[in-house]
Structure formats: C-alpha cells, structure tokens
Amino acid sequence: MINAIEAQSPLGIAGATPPARTPTASGAGFADVLTQTIASAVNTIQTAETASISGIRGAASVASVVDSVMEAQRALQALVAVRDKAVAAYQEISRMAI
C-alpha cells in the first residue's frame, strides 16, 4: 500500500516529484534507529533482571543490582516517552481537516 501511495504525485499535481528520502549521516533510517533503540532497551531490561536474580541468590552486590535496575528504568521511561510522542503525533494527524 505504501508503494502505491508513493507512486502517486503529491497533492495530485501532474509532473510533481515526491521529495527524496535522505537517510541520516550514519545511513540508518528512523525505523532502523527505533528498532535498535528498542532492542537495546530490551537487552538492558534483561540484564537488570539477571542482576536482580543474582542479587537474590547473593551472587551480586546490592549496588550493582540497584545500578542495573535504575538503568533499566531509564531505558523503559525513554521508550514510554517515545511511544507517547508517537501517539500524540498520530492523534494530531487524525484531527487534521482533509
């Protein structure tokens, strides 16, 4: 469906060309960056979970457990903030008059 939309000229203007896609300086697009960020956050949360289990067993210090859990909390809060911004943007777009 996206390809069908991209094939049409913007605003139905004959001969108009859509803007060129420009990747970021590293060559990664928004979807790639978002996927990497989510994967990193999941990895951080799993690491915190492993550290917590090690702490329960007495194999890890309290400081390392707290550090891991706080890092996981920051990662989760960042993802929630991105999700909230995406939802807000979608709602803004849905309120636009056509």
pLDDT digits (tens, 9 = 90+) for 1-10: 444 444 444 4
pLDDT at 10: 45
Ranges of each domain in the chain: 26-94
Q: How confident is the model over 27-49, as pLDDT tens digits? A: 779 889 989 999 999 999 999 99
Higher-confidence position of 20 and 46: 46
Amino acid of residue 38: I
Q: What's residue 39's pLDDT?
A: 95
Contact 40, 75 (CB under 8 A): yes
63 vs 57: CA distance, rounded Å: 15
* 0.85 surpassed by pTM: no
